[in-house]
Structures are given as structure tokens and as C-alpha cells.
Structure 1
Amino acid sequence: MARVALYARVSTNKDQTVDNQLLALRDWAAGRGHTVVAEFIDQGISGAKGRDKRPGLDDMLKAAVLGKLDMVAVTALDRLGRSLPHLITTVGELEALKVGLFVRDLALDTSTPAGQLMFNVMGSLAQFERALIRERTMLGLERAKKQGKTLGRPKVSPGKEQRIAALLKAGTPINRIMRLAGVAKSVVYRIKKEAEECPATTN
């Protein structure tokens, strides 16, 4: 029998609670003879947010690192995350810690050979998806070049660069220069760096 942590999440507080998720997972754990050692909740938090914005998920993974559980149980994969890459990363962390994952609506248990095979397939699909996106991006850039389109950010005119340099020399704060010149912070820092490396000479 395993020490199980239950994880539940809802995106909004309105008309949604984690109670039904937890009840279903408790019933599953009791039916298998598992011991529920902890319950972690993220209430009103989107699954698209990372671990740093989801305290329940973060605490659960910390408990896994400390060896306090053998398995994590959720009602559905989208409770863990909304994107396949994020899911693969989270499950990869659990796998490295030898912590299994049970997903109720899929009857998926990664501690079994069949469950592990399914997640390996999902990981391959995620990698394939990234390769397709990269290929489409490269084809799009190549097509834009053939059409004579200028790629990248618009160049800053010499006059504007001189104005930014003057404002820097006068000690104007970076954020104010950005507003006055209508440029990104990176542009201001680039001009600042160039001025420091090649200071103006006086005759």
C-alpha cells in the first residue's frame, strides 16, 4: 500500500470547489487500501500558471522531494497543468523522485508499465510538437526574407540615439528615457554600454 498525496485545483472561486475532486480521490485511495498522507489545493488558480504561482503544487513537489509520499493522485490531467510540456515536466520530476501518479478519469497509474508507456508516448508527442513549431517558424522567416520583409525590431534613428545619449549623460533615469524616446529598455542599455566603451573625446 502506498502513501498518497491528493492534489486538487480549480481555476475560479465562482461556482467551483475542490471538494468533489477530493471526495473522489479519497474514495479511490480507500478502495485501494492506500493511506492519504496529505491534501494539496490550489483554489482559483489557472492551470496555465507555473509552479511558482501555484503554492499547492509547489508544496506537493517539496513533500515529494522530502520523501513523504509514494504517489500523487489527481482527478484529471488538466488539474496538474494545461500544457503538455508542463505536464511532462511535472511528471518527470515525480518520476525522478520515484513517486507515481494516478489520474482518475484516465485510470492511469504511472507506477505500472502500461501507465509509464502512455506517458512516454505523451512525451514523444510533446517533443514532436516543439519540432513542428520550430520548423514552421523557420519556414515563415525564410518566406518573409524572400518577400523582402525586414525582420527584427525597427532600427533606432541616429537622431534618436544622440538624444538618448544626451539624456544618459545628463543623468536622466532609464525609465524616464524610455518614455521620452519611446524605446525599449534594451535600446537604452545598448546605447549606454556603447557610450561607456567608446567615450566621446574632446578636442
Structure 2
Amino acid sequence: MTLPPGRGPTLVVTKLDHLAFSVAHLMEIWQRLEERGTRLKIIALNLDTSTPTGNLMLNLLGSVAELEREIIRSSPPIMFALVSIDASGEPLRGYSSSP
């Protein structure tokens, strides 16, 4: 059920990644909202799913957000104690250079 822009109940969220953790989760939420006749508005993206363009953008941005989370999750942690040394040659406060 597609609502005219600006009409009907609306779920408003600030950012897409605050709503769902994966594209599958996002699509599940979106389907439930559609079944209830509720549109989704994401403030940070100025995205409104009551328009065809909003629907397309939601799919694209959901996929990009999931890719970003996967890249972050698969990146090795950085060992700041071994990388970050201050001007005196000592590790930054709170870190140790010994294993």
C-alpha cells in the first residue's frame, strides 16, 4: 500500500543504521510498516518511503550500510600501543609497548 507523500502514520528515525542491522532486517521492518499502512521517514537522508524514489533509495542505502558494517567487522583491530608513539618515543599514556 503506497501512501500519498505527507499523508498517514509515519515512523521517523534519525539514521538508517539506527533502525536495522542488515538488509534482511530492514526489509522485514519495511514490510511490516507497509502492511500497517505506515510510511518510513529517515531524517538524516531526507528519505520518505511514500515515494517511488524513496523506496529505491531505501534499498540502495540499506545495502551500502550493510556492506559498511561487514567491512568494519572484518577489519583487524589496530594496536595503538605499537603504532602511536609520542614525541619522546614513549607509548601514549595508558598503553604499553610490551606484549
Q: Identify which of structures 1 and 2 has the higher relative contact order when contacts are C-alpha pairs closer than 8 Å and 6+ apart.
A: 2
TM-score for both structures, normalised by structure 1:
0.26
